[in-house]
Structure 1
Amino acid sequence: MKAPEALLAYLQQTPGMESGSKRLVLLFTQLGDFDSMEYAQALVPALSHLEQVGIQTLGIAIGDQAGADRFCVFTGFPRSQLRVVPDAELHRSVGLSPGLQAAGGPWPSLLLMCAGIGSPGTLAEVLRGYTGDRSAPGRFDESSLFRLAGGSGFQRPFELATVRLRNMNEVLSK
């Protein structure tokens, strides 16, 4: 599969991401989007392995420099591997969905999506966050209190819900 031309053009202007290098490119949405935060948090532990095998990682998100700084501090994603664009033009050019467009702008859209409106699969994911998932890896280490919630080696009840509550608090409190 060939990457879209708009993305290839963007990468050609980014040091270390030129044609011919092994690369993992992440198109995050807005920096305050919960999916972007969760993906970055899940990827951070694997970044050193990716680097060891010669894969350059770059995240591209919609936002500004101050938001990128906060995102990286909160998620642990390396600031040197995150670029920000001021709008969704690059994302649209590669065919990504614009998401829910509620009247009143991005904040009402965010709150509606948190409630599962216009965001397919959200309610099922919320429920999974509370009940656990034996087929998914844990999000907290085995020494955490979550080991008391039914064992180890899988995503325990309330574990994912706690991650999401922390992320929601970060976004809505700033």
Structure 2
Amino acid sequence: ASDAMRATLLHFLGLLASAAAVATVPSRVGPGLLNGVTVTSVANGRKVDLGKELRGGPFSGTKLLVLGTYAADFNAIEYGQKLRHYLPELRAKGVQKVMLVLNAEPSSCKAFAEVLDLPKDVTIFSDPAGDAGLAFGVSRGWLPDAPLSPFLKLYGMLFGLGAAGTLPSVIAGYLGNPNGQSKWIESSLAQGQRAGRWPDNALELDNTGKVVRNAFDTLPVVGSWGRRPLELATLRLQNMIGISLKNWESLKPTEGSTLTQLGGCVVVNQSGDV
């Protein structure tokens, strides 16, 4: 199959293998978590000991580390969009440093940051083989050691194999949630519309790019829900077409095993405690 066909297949499967890539609780949290795990700083190309970076450096306050998936994966994209939206709130709550590890080459990490318009103060690290996530204890997906195509393994995860929360999470994106959160979705859709991504009719923007009308607000009955039906699904469609597929060549993974590897996050306080 061509790269374009593989990319299309991958992202339709990825939409259905999504839920388990959210924060994973590591199997071995401790004071030495991630010590000796080397990643590459995208900003300057230097090799960094992730454990030391998490507990040392010039930042004395709370630190947040997101262990993402590969750069074209919509789970990583949504994580990036949430970081972009919630960064001011995280700062207000005392998070001094925000770090994001992607299972991607430095060039892909840079393309990821550019397409999402990530703030410069989100520190991004490159980890093409996903070593940091593995050291953290994230799930490797379905049949990680089996001599099968990673695309076939991802297909199995479509049905919940190795990712039990898959279908409920996808369905929730269509059905909505009265108690959900949608502000990050709105800001992400707006950023996408400003960048020319489709669908581009959910929001009305003024000449400065500010949202002046959200079509989901006007829906009868469900317009007042925290997350409206089809709202998250619309963002996922925009991400798939306008980011993942359009930028597949610059964002695609170089290690097949990372197609099914999931992600997680960890917060460390100023004392170095998880």
Scaled to the shorter chain, the TM-score interval is: 0.7 to 0.9
Q: Secondary structure at the match of 2:186?
A: coil
- Aligned equivalents of 1:59 and 1:42: distance in 2? 12
Specify the alignment match of 1:156 in structure 2.
228
Instruction: Assess, with a 3 A threshold, how the Cα gap between structure 1 residues 46 and 163 changes in structure 2: closer, same or farther.
Output: same
Q: CA contact under 8 A between 2:62 and 2:95: conserved in structure 1?
A: yes
Specify the alignment match of 1:99 in structure 2.
141
Deviating more after overlay: 71-80 vs 31-40: 71-80
Specify the alignment match of 1:129 in structure 2.
173
Specify the alignment match of 1:10 in structure 2.
50
Alignment of 1:19-38 (within 5 A): 20-38=60-78
- Aligned equivalents of 1:47 and 1:37: distance in 2? 15
Specify the alignment match of 1:167 in structure 2.
239
1:92-139 superposed Cα distances (whole Å, 9 cap, x missing partner): 11211112347223x444455456554322211121111111110112
Name the aligned partner's letter for residue 51 of structure 1.
R
Q: Which structure shows the bigger proportion of residues in helix conformation?
A: 1
Name the aligned partner's letter for residue 159 of structure 1.
E
Q: CA contact under 8 A between 2:60 and 2:96: conserved in structure 1?
A: no
TM-score w.r.t. the length of structure 2 is: 0.54
Q: CA deviation at 1:77?
A: 2.7
- Aligned equivalents of 1:124 and 1:50: distance in 2? 28
- Aligned equivalents of 1:109 and 1:147: distance in 2? 39
Deviating more after overlay: 118-127 vs 22-31: 118-127
Name the aligned partner's letter for residue 83 of structure 2.
L
Alignment of 1:22-171 (within 5 A): 22-52=62-92, 53-78=94-119, 81-100=123-142, 101=144, 103-105=148-150, 107-110=151-154, 112-113=156-157, 116-138=160-182, 139-140=185-186, 143-149=213-219, 150-152=222-224, 154-169=226-241, 170-171=243-244
Question: What is the aligned-residue identity percentage?
Answer: 25
* Max Rg structure: 2
Give unpaired runs (5+ residues) of structure 1. Answer: none
- Aligned equivalents of 1:119 and 1:140: distance in 2? 27
Q: CA contact under 8 A between 2:174 and 2:230: conserved in structure 1?
A: yes
CA-atom RMSD, angstroms?
3.0
Name the aligned partner's letter for residue 94 of structure 1.
F
Q: Secondary structure at the match of 2:235?
A: helix
Q: CA contact under 8 A between 1:17 and 1:56: conserved in structure 2?
A: no
